Amino acid sequence: MSSSSLVRILSQGKKVTSYLRKFNNFYELENIFYLCELNLIEKFKLSEREISRLIYDIYILKENKFFKNRFATILKGKILHDLPSKRKDFYVICLNKNKIFHKKNPFLKELLLYILTHELIHLVRFIRYESNFYSKYKWEEEKFVHNLTKKALKDFTNLPHMNKVFYYFDQIYS
């Protein structure tokens, strides 16, 4: 994807922190993002080097052709530099506003926890070269990451709606 396409897409959205400020439980929702990161670091035993390579941002976008009825999608870009060793990949996790942020969504926290963990696991697999961003076997990768997501979140089944979220995604990925 060209940088101008990426800019055009992201200009239609909002960074996640500015979008979440309109919610009464802003701090609870914001904590979910930190919780996802900390849980991932612990469960996947990320090294400092891996953490430094995990360059990403999160945007909220309205439904568009990139989502194809998905909750989230990942866009990839490059940080260019004259020195090849300084070039880095960066990722943008785009959350589908229409599918996630309903006013009457009783399990928003659990859904966000699942979706963010799922997308961050993809990123970890990319930086570890366990998966290729451009792979033609996307569905197999999605199913594999779903299973990793459930394992990473097994300690969160005490959240009121976590098992419902697992069940929902089990139906999709089975």
pLDDT tens per residue across span 113-144 = 999 999 999 999 999 999 999 999 999 999 99
pLDDT, greater one: 166 or 12: 166
CB 58 within 8 A of CB 92: yes
* CA–CA gap between residue 71 and residue 30 (Å, rounded): 18
Distance set, CA 32 to CA 51, 81, 114, 117 (Å)? 18, 33, 10, 10
Nearest 5 degrees, angle CA 18-CA 43-CA 168?
65
What's the pTM? Answer: 0.85
Residue spans of the domains in the chain: they are: 3-173
Nearest 5 degrees, angle CA 5-CA 74-CA 36?
140
pLDDT of residue 106: 82
Strand, helix or coil at 135?
A: coil
CB atoms under 10 Å from CB of 150, counted, come to 19
Closest by CA to 16, choosing from 63, 53, 64, 57, is: 57
pLDDT tens per residue across span 36-53 = 999 999 999 999 999 988
Percentage of residues in the chain having pLDDT higher than 90: 47
